[in-house]
Amino acid sequence: MELVNAIEQSAVGALVRESLWVYPTLLTLHGVGLALLVGISCAVDVRILGFASDVPLRPMARFLPVMYLGFWLNALSGLGLLCAEASKMLRDPVFFVKMACILAGTGAIVRLNTLVFRPQDARLDRDTFHGSARALALASLAAWTLAIVTGRLTAYGFFR
């Protein structure tokens, strides 16, 4: 727990906590990043699951940089927010469930990227996916939903 206190007392932690505008700005960026990351990831997921199957899937890869922008916005803003509230977050089991969900969601994205967007097979564009791609899409939808649920709950500390 010494580490937790050290993080919270660090220059970054103090700045985020004490400045009038840094915390709200990080929180706002965290909301924008969430919408970009989860929104686009889930749109790709439902396409893989068969919705709007006349949208060619491979060109949807062009939307992924916007999704990654959301990911990095949230990784960085989240790190700043964590420094300010280390003692609150790192003692909350819900926070670690959120981190596990993000790990799972990110893993699903990376795996789908190699499975769906990499292969140079034009048939992929027309087919609805079966097997592992569908399972990954479902896992991604579930992981992001649970990440939002647990992320919201860390503000309440129900299980702390």
Partner 1 sequence: MDINGAVAWLQSSGLPGYMNAHAWAWPACEVLHFIGMATLLGTIGLLDLRMLGLARSIPARPLHRFVQWGLGGFVINLVTGVMFVAGNPFAPLEYISNVAFLLKMAFLILAGVNAGIFYLTGVSDVVLRLGPGDDAPLAAKLIGGTSMCLWLGVIVFGRLLPYLGDAF
The answer to whether 32 touches 87, Cβ cutoff 8 Å, is no
The minimum distance between CB 43 and partner 1, in angstroms, equals 5
Q: Which residues between 34 and 73 bind partner 1 (CB under 8 A)?
A: 34-43, 46, 51-52, 54-56, 59-60, 62-63, 66
Query: Any contact of residue 156 with partner 1 (CB under 8 A)?
Result: yes
DSSP 8-state symbol, 58: G
Helix axes 2-9, 64-84, angle to 10 degrees: 100
Q: Which residues between 7 and 36 bind partner 1 (CB under 8 A)?
A: 24, 27-28, 30-32, 34-36
Among 10, 88, 117, 145, binds partner 1 (CB under 8 A): 145
Q: Which residues between 93 and 122 bind partner 1 (CB under 8 A)?
A: none
Phi (first) and psi of residue 44, to 5 degrees: -65, -40
The answer to whether 41 touches 140, Cβ cutoff 8 Å, is yes
